[in-house]
Structures are given as C-alpha cells and as structure tokens.
Amino acid sequence: MAGIKEAKYIWMNGEFVPWKEAKIHVLTHALHYASSVFEGIRCYKTKKGSFVFRLKDHIKRLFDSAKIYRMEIPYSFDEILVACKRTVIENGLEECYIRPLVFRGYHSLGVNPLDCPVEVVIAVWEWGKYLGPEALEKGVDVMVSSWTRIAPNTVPPLAKASGNYANGQLIKMEAILYGFSEGIALDSMGFVSEGSGENIFAVKDGVIYTPFLDACILPGITRDTVIKLAREAGYEVREVMLPREFLYIADEVFFTGTAAEITPIKSIDKMIIGKGERGPVTKKLQEMFFSYIKGEVPDKYGWLEPLK
Ligand code: PMP
C-alpha cells in the first residue's frame, strides 16, 4: 500500500509546522495508552469551489469523543472549525482528507492522564479511494471477522477514540492477510456491528437495514447521510439488530464511511451477495451521495461547509 502523501504543513497546537517537523516526544501519554480521539473528514472539490463535508458534525463528534474521555480541548468549536479549513488552504489543497487529533501529551506516564496536557494537531493529505480504485463500482470481497467488536461499557464505541482501533486493526489485518479487503465485526451478542472503519447496510426486498447504536457501532456521519438520503428517495430504512446470516441472504450489502464513502460488498465469506455486483439501491444511493457532495443538488441539509 502506498504511503501517506505528504502535504506541506501540519497545524500543531495553533501553529503551522512543516510536515516533517511535526513531532512529539516518545513518552507522550497517548503513544503508550491510546489517550487520544480524532476525526476523519473529507474536503471535496466542486464546480463552485471546495467544500468540507459535514465539518460541523465531525467537530461535534470530536468534542463528544473528548468529553467521554474527560479531555478538555483547549480550543473552541469555532477555532477548530477554522483551523481545519485553514490547514487545507495553507497546504494549497482543493480536495483532501482532514485528520484532527486530540491527544494527551508529555508529562507523566502513569495510567492517570488527567495531568497531561491536551494537545491538538490537524493534518490534511490527498487520499484516494480507501478500499481500492475499483471498489466503488465493482464492490469488495470481505469476511466476517473472528474478532468481536468492542463491547458495551468497555471501550466506549460512541467515542471515535484511538483505542477503538486496536480492535479495528486486528479486524483489518486478519481480513487483509486472508485476502479480503475488509472485515465485518460482530458485536458481543453475535449481531452484525460494523467494518474496521465503516458502517454497514443491507438491502432486502427493497427495504434498507443497518445496525442500531446498540450494536457498538461508531455513529457514522456517512451512515446518517445515507439514512437521510435513502428516506428522501422513498426507501424504508430500519435500524435493527442484524443476524450475521442476514447479510448472506441480502440482495445488496454496502459499507459507508468518510474514507470508504459508499462501497458495495460483492461477497462475504466467499458467499456471493445478490448478483455479486453493485446493486441498484447501492447505485442509486451513490448517485445521490456523489451529486450532493459535488454540489450538483441544493444543499438542503447544510452539509457543505465552504472552504473559503
Ligand atoms: N465505523 C468506524 C469504526 C469508523 O472508523 C468509521 C470512520 N470514521 C465509520 C464507522 C464511519 O464513520 P463516518 O461515516 O463518520 O466516517
């Protein structure tokens, strides 16, 4: 896999630092205990200029994640919002991924993080199709993971915290090393939860199903977008507990996420889903989603945050 495409500057605690100089001490608390929360956001280039998709919702989730971990972000909501946009502009990018990270810095190395400073960095870089160049059209082959998703009241799934991705990495590595693009984790009850970095939807007999928050999912912003767009298009969307085998017999299954956007799934555990290609509902939702983010339809939900 290609390495990160470096940009010029990283916003570090209020200042722009050259990419290669954006460094921290090896005894930073977050490095040892995953005491950090973050966001993944996309900025899209459109005919009307660049827009950051649902920036306010992402920053809201960042502050929520920090609250769960009792971290006080030393900047206001608006300061982070402006800093995200300025980082894109400063780097001269028109379309990119935006990664704000809030972490406990260098001070002490006991488990107790409360005295460690809370630091904030924002990086941006160009990032293509997360699950491969053909994924959006052709779909991906995935497996149900042998790893269970983080359980309620353990590592809280509503926080987008770095610690969650210890579980995510196990799911992802297993899938990749077994020759799949992604893994689907089941929750601790055995119901469908989500991918290592995506929410999941299934379509059966024209109805769209997706796990509810009780399946230990991250409340995905793309998930919310797709639910709204699908209802707008007249589909019934049910948030339910999904048994694993429901995926096998679904007509269509797809992932949603900022990085993955809307990616069709063509097989699960080597079982062909539907016709083994992108289905009509997935295609329709992709069309609605991409025309929205490209600014081709009116921004009725106020999701397009102008970069400038
Ligand atoms: N679940 C997990 C575990 C994720 O990491 C992501 C990516 N942030 C998602 C779901 C999708 O969330 P969003 O649509 O907000 O990117």
pLDDT at residue 289 in the model: 98
Q: Which amino acid is at 106?
A: Y
pLDDT at residue 182 in the model: 98
pLDDT tens digits, residue range 68-101?
Answer: 999 999 999 999 999 999 999 999 999 999 999 9
What is the C-alpha separation between 255 and 242, in angstroms, rounded? 15
Task: Give residue 218 CA to ligand 1 midpoint distance, Å.
Answer: 6
Q: Per-residue pLDDT averaged across 262-272, rounded?
A: 98
Indicate the SS3 state at residue 36: strand
- Whether the per-residue pLDDT at 132 is higher than 90: the answer is no
Q: What is the pTM of this model?
A: 0.97
- Ligand 1 atom closest to the Cα of residue 39 is 8
Closest Cα to atom 4 of ligand 1: 197
- Whether the per-residue pLDDT at 138 is higher than 80: the answer is yes
pLDDT tens digits, residue range 200-242?
Answer: 999 999 999 999 999 999 999 999 999 999 999 999 999 999 9
Are 9 and 87 in contact, with CB atoms under 8 Å apart? yes
The active-site residue, picked from 8, 60, 67, 160, is: 160
Mean pLDDT estimate for the chain: 97
Residue 47 catalytic?
no
Closest Cα to atom 3 of ligand 1: 197
Q: Is 223 in the pocket of ligand 1 (CB under 6 A)?
A: yes
Task: Tell how strand 140-148 and strand 15-18 pair up.
Answer: unpaired
Q: Is 219 in the pocket of ligand 1 (CB under 6 A)?
A: no
Compute φ and ψ for 158, nearest 5 degrees: -75, -15
Q: Which secondary structure element, helix H or strand E, spans residue 42, and what is its range?
A: strand 41-46
pLDDT at residue 128 in the model: 80
Q: Which amino acid is at 172?
A: K
Helix 55-68 to helix 77-90 angle, to the nearest 10 degrees? 120
Task: Tell how strand 41-46 and strand 96-104 pair up.
Answer: antiparallel
What is the C-alpha separation between 14 and 33, in angstroms, rounded? 24
Q: What is the distance, to the nearest Å, from the Cα of residue 250 to the centroid of all Cα atoms in its chain?
A: 24
Q: Per-residue pLDDT averaged across 114-125, rounded?
A: 98
Are 106 and 24 in contact, with CB atoms under 8 Å apart? yes
